[in-house]
Amino acid sequence: MAGFSINGGTLAFPTPEEANHGKAPWPHSDQSAYRPWPHCIQGLLNLLPNGPDDGGLAVLNGSAPLFEQYFKEHTQPDGGWIKRDLFDWTDEQLQWFKDRGCEWMKPNMEPGDFILWDSRAVHYGAAPLGTNKRMAIYTCYKPIEFLSEEQRERKVEAFKRGYMTSHDPTDFVLKEEQMAEWNILHPYGKPSINKETQQAIGMVPYE
């Protein structure tokens, strides 16, 4: 049984006239070197046609199964690897993956296409090269037993208030902006959700 995240979605308008329009890639994995096993699955539901120039998810294909091996074969820096579930990769480090056959791919998607990826996979959000808008919803998944009672209460509260959480379904953070005056919560009224969704949030237990 899986719990899922309520980290929301994106409606992105390309802004080619802005200086940082061609934002450089930031290849990363969303797990720590100390958690090299399959732990969290991330998902993207695409809502607008998304071609090669439209920005969005880019993945280093084949990198997730090599994640553990990378850290076994490399010495940790002074102070150890970063402990939170985030690892930013340098070009030099990524060459190790490329030498083992990994290649960048940015899947083209139609409205309704859904992608799941392992949090260990190296990925980033590519900047758009054209003028098309992009719209997608993100959901991440973990076994429901990873959710502590304290986290469950926080998550249900966040859902009821309309707060968006970070990607992790259990170890999430609530960004301060969620509580800001300008943040319009439930702009279209409260959602009605079915039993399966209530179970995945932690509102009602799985049977």
Residue ranges that bind Fe ion, judged by CB under 5 A: 30
Amino acid in position 48: L
Q: Which residue is nearest to Fe ion (CB)?
A: 30
Which regions of 35-100 does DSSP assign to beta strands (E)?
41-46, 56-61, 87-88
Minimal distance in Å, beta carbon 106 to Fe ion? Answer: 14
Count other C-beta atoms under 10 Å from residue 154's C-beta.
18
Cβ–Cβ < 8 Å for 172, 19: no
Measured from the CB atom, is 30 or 168 closer to Fe ion?
A: 30
Phi and psi (nearest 5°) for 53? -100, 5
Cβ–Cβ < 8 Å for 136, 45: yes
Minimal distance in Å, beta carbon 149 to Fe ion? Answer: 27
Measured from the CB atom, is 30 or 54 closer to Fe ion?
A: 30
Minimal distance in Å, beta carbon 126 to Fe ion? Answer: 12
Measured from the CB atom, is 25 or 162 closer to Fe ion?
A: 25
Measured from the CB atom, is 30 or 118 closer to Fe ion?
A: 30
Minimal distance in Å, beta carbon 33 to Fe ion? Answer: 16
Minimal distance in Å, beta carbon 160 to Fe ion? Answer: 27
Single out the residue of 23, 24, 21, 89 nearest to residue 60, CA to CA: 89
Measured from the CB atom, is 66 or 199 closer to Fe ion?
A: 66
Cβ–Cβ < 8 Å for 62, 102: yes
Single out the residue of 134, 137, 156 nearest to residue 200, CA to CA: 156
